[in-house]
Structure 1
Amino acid sequence: MSRLPFYFIVGLLLVAGIAMSVHRHLQFEIPWVPNEQRQVWEIEAVITFDAQGGPVEVDLALPTQQAGYRILTENTASSGYGLAYQANETGRRAEWTIREADGEQQLYYSVQMLVSPEAQAPSQAAPELPPAVEWESPYDSAAEQLIDEAWERSANNATFARELIRDVNGERQDENARLLLGEMDPAPLVVRLLNQAEVKARGVSGLLLQDGRRRQTLSTWIQVFDENDETWSLFHPITGVQGKPDNLLLWETTGDAVLEVQGGTNSRVSFSMMTHYQPASAAVRNHNSNDTLLNFSIHSLPLEEQALFQTILLIPIGALVVVFLRVLVGIKTSGTFMPVLIALAFIQTSLTTGLIGFLLIVSVGLIIRNYLSYLNLLLVARVSAVIITVIAIISVFSVLAYRMGLNAGLTITFFPMIILAWTIERMSILWEEEGPKQVLIQGGGSLLTAVIAFLAMNNPWVRHITFNFLGVQFILMALILLLGNYTGYRLLELRRFKPITEEDKPS
């Protein structure tokens, strides 16, 4: 029979598992290792204005995802005000409204921004050039001369913007530049000159992030659109330096007003900021609150269910360990996957407490089961009696541990009672049929397998990978299928060939 379909399924599982895991890492920035830290900026905007006793509408521009930053959470504090978020292809804004307000007002908006080198700004279409505004004389000739001189020294839109900024603000500043600066500030002037030269440009507002700073204001930067590669380039409005500083957060990127207040005067907005570090898993969990099919995860579940699944998702790791030890190494166990359940109990109790509890329960259970064998009970009744016995043993040990001040002993209640009962039953039958040697071999093999499975399942890296990358389950399935296809000798069986090798040795 052809094995091609089998290997096709295995290959498909491997490719799917790896692809899903890599996709989650790259697209949603899930870290490969636990305890990785990410920098988060907490920024608070305070809006103050004087209300005039009537209806008030306050409109504030909000930051969006951009190169180097992602939004984690955002909150507002505005007692008595209605609040609505508006979003379109150009940006996001918050709108506060109230029927009547009088006197000084304060509104608060706070946002957590995750520093993310992989984050990219969403693509934006180039805006249309604004309607041309005619200069009055003699400003028209001064503007034309500045444009012509900078155009001659440039090769594209970016270099043209750089040269124009330097002509307006730099050492080459002449009488034409000084004349125009008497009418407009540097940044709006450069944007107007660029638009006059049919170069698409706009002024944007950015916040320079510095830890612990208070009452900061936004600064204006210049964005220029490059028609060749259809990208925006950012320029400092005074120095003409191209590029976005690492600590610059663009707050408003459409060229519109940052703050608009209707029904109030003396409006202003100031910013306070501080930075801290938090585990990457927590930061990503806040960021990925809306899972899609490709971002399928259990982070959207309540925390209680998440904790449950964090343990359940470790079972395939224990199953892989059992398959490896039984198929390749040849270790005998009492029950197929009983060691996995015992390993899960070890995770809850700790390894030392779990080992002591397991040995005590099984030992006492075997003694009581040996007595039950003289009663000639039916199998179902006998196993039921063993289950009740195991419950009684665990209860007695827990009470004794509590009375002796050994709180760790209380955790033996996490042992799977049904599995323990069947283990005692199987070992008792094995003792009667094949003797105590086989009981020690299979019991010791089960305990050794459970310890190895516990060490694998309790590893922080393994717990992190299995919980955050569900594609790993497909990889584990593929590995188990490959191991299940193995039909060769087990490692412990090779000792049977030792006499042959001794005979081949020269005397």
Structure 2
Amino acid sequence: MSSRAQVYLLSFIFIFIGIGLTIYKNSELEFPLLPGERKTIWTVEAKIEFKATDKPVTVSFALPHNPPEMGILDEDFTASGYGFGWDSNQQERRAQWAKRKAKGKQVLFYKVQVFKQSDTYPVEDAIPPTETKAPDLSPSLKTTISQLVTYVYNRSADNTTFATELIRLINDKEPIEDVQLLLGNQGLSKTRLALNALALANVPARVAKGLRLEDGRRNQKLTTLIEIFDTDHWVFLNPKTGQKGLPDNFILWQRGGSSLLDVEGGDNSKVSFSIIKNSQPAKSFAILHGAENQAALVDFSIYSLPIEQQNVFKSILLVPIGAIVVVLMRILVGVKTSGTFMPILIAIAFIETTLFTGLIIFLVIVTIGLFIRSYLSRLNLLLVARISAVVIVVISIMAGMSILSHKLGISEAMSVTFFPMIILAWTIERMSILWEEEGPKEVFTQGGGSLLVATLAYLLMTNQYVEHLTFNFPELLLALLGCIILLGQYTGYRLTELRRFQPLAED
């Protein structure tokens, strides 16, 4: 494989990995692409109350299990003096509290934080039900419901339309005779009538209970829905309107006919729910959610480091942004700089000093340094000694500027210490040699080019969107690496050379 082909292959691999990981973190781990995004979090608290009868107490409470369209961020169980355990199976998750002996009013709390996620349904929604059992009904009741089933069956096409039509007839303001009889004389509830009719029609159905999420609500009860299985998935239906699907901002709490709360050793038990809405930064949410799910991109990432080290990397990760600016300006534009990556170091100093203050400090130090370097050259010193002398001079200038600015009350100039002194010394040395060999024009060209590139790098590195992306999506640096490798193959004209070769193009 030729070197050019290897370059294209490596570039494609790096760009693909970098962009792919970024898309994964955004879509699956929900890391925000823009700064300032916030995520809505709903906190639901279930309050369980009952009166203990001075006997051993066991409390079993149904919990949300893979609720559709909702994700569980955190859970908390509070019950003073009670032991806690799990009573779970494949289709239901239950909390279990136990105490050897209790008497009087008892209060237990379960708190869960949930958030809305993509409109996807868990795998359980595609699991077909077990065989439908015929309801245990009296002959007369069964006959009447069978007549209703036959009537609805002829007016439907599949399980969903059958259930929808059945619910419509049951809730009609002027119901048909069979419905009037069943709801009146037989005393059936509308939900129980619908379930019995669905069972006689061999339509798999079950009760589902959930909670509408509304901010500031207290003492709420669960809302009942009906689920039917149609072909290959479960369909939610409102038992009052027949509307399909889950309501907006709705958490499905329980599926199936088992009880919500079982209390042994107590009576007068009840459950009430309170809801509060809050928001938090989307990044903090994504880190917490990723850590809860043990996502590798969160566990083995910068977020696992202490805050102090994270702040250090927040600045380090901006250096490649300066590098791409240097590559673009030198390879494509043709701007000359004093040193290859000196503009990056100047840009980093500008971040600490601000742009205007940093430019003034840089020009003052380099100008004074060039005059002193010119005098040292007359002394015929060796290179090492001359550079060391320039370093000391630069430090003296920086110290003098800091003291003077402090006395004058100019706090901005005190940040002069952020400039890399060794790099400044080498810059002064290089410019001095360049002055002697090429003349002042080349010094101003390279010096001005360095400041131009440093300024552009500073403006890009301090952009809030760039800072956000480099810190939260460091995988993008791989894509940046791929682009730099591609630019390394460029051998065409630079923008500054177009004017130089314009006469040839005209000829």
Whether the TM-score (by the shorter chain) exceeds 0.5 is yes
Deviation at 1:232, TM superposition (A): 1.3
The Cα shift of 1:234 comes to: 0.6
Equivalent of 2:295, from 286, 292, 295?
292
Partner of 2:235: 233
After superposition, residues 356-371 of structure 1 pair within 5 angstroms as: 356-370=360-374
User: Are 2:22 and 1:21 equivalent residues in the alignment?
Assistant: yes
Q: Distance in 2 between matches of 1:203 and 1:180?
A: 19
Is the counterpart of residue 221 in structure 1 residue 225 in structure 2?
A: yes
1:77-476 equivalences in 2 (<5 Å): 77-84=78-85, 89-124=90-125, 125-129=127-131, 131-170=133-172, 171-175=174-178, 178-179=181-182, 182=186, 184-226=188-230, 228=231, 230-289=232-291, 290-293=293-296, 297-370=301-374, 373=377, 378-476=382-480
Q: Percent identity?
A: 48
Task: Tell me if the contact between 1:167 and 1:174 (Cα under 8 Å) persists in the aligned partners.
Answer: no
What are the ranges of 5 or more consecutive residues in structure 1 without an aligned counterpart? none
CA distance in 2, matches of 1:168, 1:260: 31
Separation in 1, partners of 2:397, 2:215: 59
Superposed CA RMSD in Å reads 3.1
- Say if 2:463 is the partner of 1:486: no
Asked if the contact 2:18/2:478 (under 8 Å) is kept, the reply is yes
Q: Which moved more, 1:124-133 or 1:372-381?
A: 372-381
Name the SS of the counterpart of 1:18 in structure 2: helix
Deviation at 1:475, TM superposition (A): 1.9
Alpha-carbon displacement from aligned partner over 1:253-272 (angstroms, at most 9, x marks no partner) = 34432233333322222222
The answer on whether the counterparts of 1:67 and 1:118 sit within 8 Å (CA) in structure 2 is: yes
CA gap of 1:61–1:404, structure 2 versus 1, over 3 A, is: farther
- Pick which of 319-328 and 284-293 moved more: 284-293
CA distance, structure 1, for counterparts of residue 189 and residue 160 of structure 2: 21
The match for 1:59 is 60
Distance 1:88 1:350, change over 3 A: farther
**Matches of 2:410 and 2:258 in 1, distance apart?**
68
How many residues get paired? 501
Aligned residues of 2:53 and 2:265 also touching (Cα < 8 A)? yes
Once the 2 structures are TM-superposed, how far is the Cα of residue 239 of structure 1 from its aligned partner? 1.9
1:304 shift after superposition: 3.4
Contact 1:142 1:177 (8 Å CA) reproduced: no
What is the TM-score normalised by the length of structure 2? 0.87
CA shift, 1:321, in A, is 0.7
SS in 2 for 1:272: strand
Residue 480 of structure 1 deviates from its aligned partner by 0.9
Work out whether residues 49 and 268 of structure 1, in 8 Å CA contact, stay in contact via their aligned partners in 2: yes
Please give the secondary structure, in 2, of the residue aligned with 1:194: helix
Range moving further from structure 2, 59-68 or 320-329: 59-68
Between 89-98 and 268-277, the greater mean CA deviation after superposition: 89-98
Q: CA deviation at 1:470?
A: 3.5
Distance 2:505 2:321 in 1: 37
The amino acid that maps onto 1:195 is: A
Q: 1-side partners of 2:106 and 2:398: how far apart?
A: 65
Deviation track 1:41-92 (CA, whole Å, cap 9, x = no partner) reads 2322222222334443333333345443323333344344444466654244
Deviation at 1:441, TM superposition (A): 1.9
Q: 1:488 to 1:199 in 2, by over 3 A?
A: same
1:3 — aligned with what?
Answer: 4
For residue 277 of structure 1, report the CA deviation from its aligned partner: 4.2
Higher mean alpha-carbon deviation, 276-285 vs 307-316, is at 276-285
Which shifted more, 373-382 or 337-346?
373-382
How far the C-alpha of 1:233 sits from its partner, in A, is 0.7
Q: CA deviation at 1:247?
A: 2.7
CA distance in 2, matches of 1:188, 1:408: 76
TM-score by length of 1: 0.87
> How far is 1:501 from its partner?
7.4
In structure 2, relative to structure 1, the CA distance for the partners of 1:409 and 1:173 (3 Å cut) is: farther
Cα distance, 1:448 vs structure 2? 0.9
Report the AA paired with residue 427 of structure 2: T
Cα drift, residue 213 of structure 1: 1.8
Query: Residues 322, 191 of structure 1: CA spacing in aligned structure 2 closer, same or farther, 3 A cutoff?
Result: same
Deviation at residue 218 of structure 1 after TM alignment: 0.7
Name the structure 1 match of 2:43: 42
Q: Which moved more, 1:343-352 or 1:289-298?
A: 289-298
Write out per-residue CA displacement over residues 356-398 of structure 1, whole angstroms, 9 at most, x where no aligned residue.
3333343444455455556655545554554455445444444
Change beyond 3 A, Cα 1:56–1:305: farther
What is the CA–CA distance in structure 2 between the aligned matches of 1:250 and 1:217, rounded to whole Å?
13
The one-letter code matched in structure 1 to 2:310 is Q
The AA in structure 2 aligned to 1:34 is P
Contact 1:427–1:439 under 8 Å retained in 2: yes
Contact 1:61 1:93 in 2 (8 A): yes
